[in-house]
Structure 1
């Protein structure tokens, strides 16, 4: 398994096709540089870092890219993955463009323990947000482990109750990540927990 889904080109710090086609000499040079950079005896900072490639992964990347027949097959596979990603990104953009805009004031609201909510719903599929997210439903959990927040929820037209969920943490994150510092108006995208429908939730800093 490649570290953090890095491609063999990324592991060796080589530009992937179709940008360029590295020569065997360039691949060999990149291989030795990567070994030196990530070898546990040479690099103290990355020796215990799971996000960086291991020596075995570097060797595997070199063996594939330095073998002509294997490199051709790998390049074809990589191109197929990239094309699939582009198609999925285009599909996602279409879904977002079609998303309905709904004001946060149009949601129902309650106090929620977001820490244990998934465990609560795992115990009973019939529990809805309006009851299941209440503090009393955190039975069996020490109170100091609960993370109480205000939540907002709304049904989806697919028929799923409480399909859209918004938490205080989500609103805070959206506000901090927003590029529009001149306005208190913000928005976040939320997907139905059952179907692929997205909505655009509008809110303001005052909320």
Structure 2
């Protein structure tokens, strides 16, 4: 029977905090200690057939990843590499730390062909958008992207001009 290893948020019991950009170090540390007790090999808690009990190493890795803002941001991107717009119209209810801007508000790097913007976490080019990403979302006229240095999000609004260029 196949097994499914839960992600770091599930391992630490933080599923409801997944999109919380303000998830604090104390909350993560408390969840880590609680997970160590909950998943201790000597405990008789039964797990559903499709899941396995996380090892101490899995719990430690989850804690290390989620407690470091840079590692957490990278991990969050692996969980959701291309954000698709939720069915509901209010993305702010889904993503904590979501800021809405126009594409013109981003700096364009002619050499690389990408738009970028610094993030309040201090990452100089925290948000980077390539033209190929914009093309994938041309029907919506918006793209949501995550910061490379933290777990904040940026919604970029744009329009395709009559000459076919993005603006």
* RCO comparison, higher one (Cα < 8 Å, 6+): 2
When normalised by structure 1's length, the TM-score is 0.35
